[in-house]
Amino acid sequence: MKINFAFLFLITGIVASRDMAFTGGTEELDPISKYNAQNNEKANVSFLLFTRRNPLKPDEIVLDNEESVENSEFNPQNPSRFLIHGWRGGPSDVINVLCQANYLARGDYNIFIVDWCPLASSSYLNATVNVREAGKQVAAFIDFLHRNHGLNLASTYIIGHSLGAHVAGITGKHVKRGRIRAIFGLDPAQPLFSIDRPNERLDANDAEYVENIHTNTAFKGFAKPIGDSSYYPNWGRRQPGCGADLLGSCSHERAVRYFAESLEGRSNFYGVQCESYGNIENMTCNIGVTVKMGGDLLDFKGSGVFYVPVGEKYPFAKGKIPYMHLFS
């Protein structure tokens, strides 16, 4: 059955994040879309910087171009966040729009949108091959900012969705001047990636802390844990409110929406710790320890596998639910 799912994924030319309307939060796509339309001549990977000083019009910073940094709003005193879209995504992808807005609502950040559209816009097979090249370019860019402009790796996180999660992993593997503080993989893509080949995908060793949110384990997303902490909203199965979701697009994208909501701070997603991934498969967890999913402050979360209850619509977080009520 999984082979059939993978085949369907490969021939599907639709990305949920580009087709689905957003419910809750900001719906404004114009600033990024307008910029993208006006800048068609691009390198394989482009880096668009948003800050509170330029929340609507990005500064494009070019690898090894000192002037592009000096003329930008980059501030090494602020924490940096790199957002990486998935297959056939782009600057106006939902991960960029939602997370950029919610981070800047929280405080002062350097928000880098990683546009690897030239490498991700062809067939899924080609895009998976290009993941390594995209990740190496992002790593070179991070090393450049760290070496020449004071980027602090200890306050740098990378957030990637689907194939973008694996780009984040390759980035972490190739950064030469230290280690990335954290990587968040939002439903890392499963088709054509293997649990037995961690050098080709996101892995727990790619940053000081790696967290994954699994929302479509039966189809597009990775099923088994591949990070320090692995969270499974609704057991990683079809997400509430997604209807039949025959191709898994809605559930696959929910990881992005959950993470973006976790940045808002007004509600929290709590995961209930399980003994192993087998508990996720059997839909039974019996440890009872609860840990927050997502968010921006790591608080030394530790590691483990977690079940997360979620709602059908925004706001999706259910807060801290007493353990006794979860499985009764």
Mean pLDDT for the stretch of residues 257-276: 91
Query: What's the chain's average pLDDT?
Result: 87
Sheet holding 229-233, edge to edge: 54-61, 46-51, 110-115, 80-84, 156-161, 182-186, 209-213, 229-233, 304-308, 269-274, 290-293
Catalytic residue among 162, 229, 249, 251: 162
Q: What is the pLDDT of residue 300?
A: 59
Which of 24-28, 61-65, 230-234, 312-316 shows the lowest per-residue confidence on average (mean pLDDT)? 24-28
Distance, CA of 146 to CA of 72 (rounded, Å): 16
Pairing of β 290-293 and β 269-274: antiparallel
Catalytic residue among 85, 146, 166, 252: 252
Active site residue 187: yes
Q: Could you tell me the residue ranges of all domains in the chain?
A: 2-325
Which of 63-67, 167-171, 200-204, 262-266 shows the lowest per-residue confidence on average (mean pLDDT)? 262-266
Q: What is the pLDDT of residue 43?
A: 61
Would you call the peptide bond into 315 cis, given omega within 30 degrees of 0 as the criterion?
yes
pLDDT confidence bin for 299, thresholds 50/70/90: low
Catalytic residue among 59, 93, 187, 203: 187
Q: What is the pLDDT of residue 36?
A: 41
Q: What is the pLDDT of residue 93?
A: 97
Which residues are within 8 A (CB) of 76 and not within 5 positions of it... i.e. 6 or more apart?
145, 149, 150, 151, 152
Q: What is the pLDDT of residue 266?
A: 77
Q: What is the pLDDT of residue 184?
A: 97
Under a CB-based contact definition with an 8 Å cutoff, are residues 55 and 118 in contact? no
Q: What is the pLDDT of residue 323?
A: 56
Mean pLDDT for the stretch of residues 303-315: 95
Mean pLDDT for the stretch of residues 67-71: 98
Residue 227 structure tokens: 């990070």
Please check the confidence at residue 147 and state whether its pLDDT lies above 70.
yes
* CA 232 remoteness from chain centre: 15
Distance, CA of 278 to CA of 216 (rounded, Å): 16
pLDDT, one tens digit per residue, over 94-142 is: 999 999 999 999 999 999 999 999 999 999 999 999 999 999 999 999 9
Active site residue 252: yes
Q: What CATH number was assigned to the domain covering residues 2-325?
A: 3.40.50.1820
Distances (CA, A) of 315 to 151, 216, 245, 276: 34, 19, 20, 28
Q: What is the pLDDT of residue 285?
A: 87
pLDDT, one tens digit per residue, over 6-62 is: 434 444 443 333 333 333 333 333 344 343 434 433 469 999 999 999 999 999 999
**pLDDT-above-70 percentage for the chain:** 83
Active site residue 146: no
